[in-house]
Structure 1
């Protein structure tokens, strides 16, 4: 599934206005935060840590209006700790967003 520009990019553009440097800075901040939260999810082994990490991912997604990431975070919330499919889907989202 390829990354689709949409509400996330629109949210970043609205926040940055006509400032391309700010837009780029916001993208970097999102990628860094997502990378950190994904690392926490990847290392979570108990139900509590997994749930907290997935909820933080969902919160990050909501704050940037990243609808696809919100769906992926919801899917992770509903899975068992360490679910490789959930982690892989979020990693794919991150890779595609960072490359776009």
Structure 2
């Protein structure tokens, strides 16, 4: 799933305006939060921990208007803990996000 940057970029622009440093800081905060929640998702061994991590990813995605990530988080919520397909899809999303530093 390729990272679609339109809504994300618009959200950052609305929050940061012309402040490039704030834009970069918000982008980094998003990335670090996603990475942390993905790590928790990978380590979850029970339904409760898995769902909480997936819901946090969904909340993060909603905060930044990243619809593709919200859909992946919904898939994770419905999946069994440790589902390798869901983990791989979110990891791919993060890789695609990192590949486009212009966002």
Cα drift, residue 53 of structure 1: 0.7
| Moved >6 Å (runs of 4+) | none
Aligned to 1:61: 61
Deviations 1:2-22 (A, max 9, x none): 222111111011111011111
Aligned to 1:87: 87
Aligned to 2:44: 44
Deviations 1:28-70 (A, max 9, x none): 1100000000000010011111111101111111111111110
Q: 1:9 & 1:82 partners in 2: Cα distance?
A: 31
When normalised by structure 1's length, the TM-score is 0.95
When normalised by structure 2's length, the TM-score is 0.92
Ranges in structure 2 where 5+ consecutive residues have no aligned partner: none
Ranges in structure 1 where 5+ consecutive residues have no aligned partner: none
Please show how residues 72-83 of structure 1 align to structure 2 within 5 Å.
72-83=72-83
Secondary structure class of the residue paired with 1:51? helix
For the aligned residue pairs, the C-alpha RMSD in angstroms reads 0.9
